[in-house]
Amino acid sequence: MFEEALKKTGQVAIMVRQMPKDDNNPFTIIETERLIMRKLQNYIGKFTIVWVPNIVDISYGRDVGYTISKIELPEDIQAISATKIRKEMGIG
């Protein structure tokens, strides 16, 4: 999804929710940011990571100068489960 978004605009903002560390969220926000930075080290300068509160909805009321678009991902990517990955890691 990152690469598809980057193709569209040449830049990506990655929003990471500020969540308490628990069984479902085994990483702190700092650990999560470090994991993302490590995976995307070849793209430095083309993305930013933004910490956001635990939002559950994004609403807007007029044309604000940007679009919200959904990227259709292949079924194998859609099937990725963070819960399953955490279990395989022995976390949660």
Q: What is the per-residue pLDDT across 19-41, written as a single tens digit (0 to 9) for each?
A: 998 888 889 999 999 999 999 99
pTM of the model as a whole:
0.76
Q: State the Cα angle at 19 between 17 and 20, rounded to 5°.
A: 165
The reply to whether 60 falls in a domain is: no
**Average pLDDT across the chain, whole number:** 89
Strand, helix or coil for residue 63: coil
Give the Cα separation of 63 and 49 in Å (integer).
Answer: 24
Nearest to 46 by CA among 92, 1, 91, 2: 2
The reply to whether 24 falls in a domain is: yes
Number of compact structural domains in the chain: 1
The reply to whether 62 falls in a domain is: no
For residue 38, the enclosing domain spans: 2-55+67-88
The two three-digit tokens of residue 89, written as one number: 């890691």
The two three-digit tokens of residue 48, written as one number: 């930013």
The reply to whether 47 falls in a domain is: yes
The reply to whether 36 falls in a domain is: yes
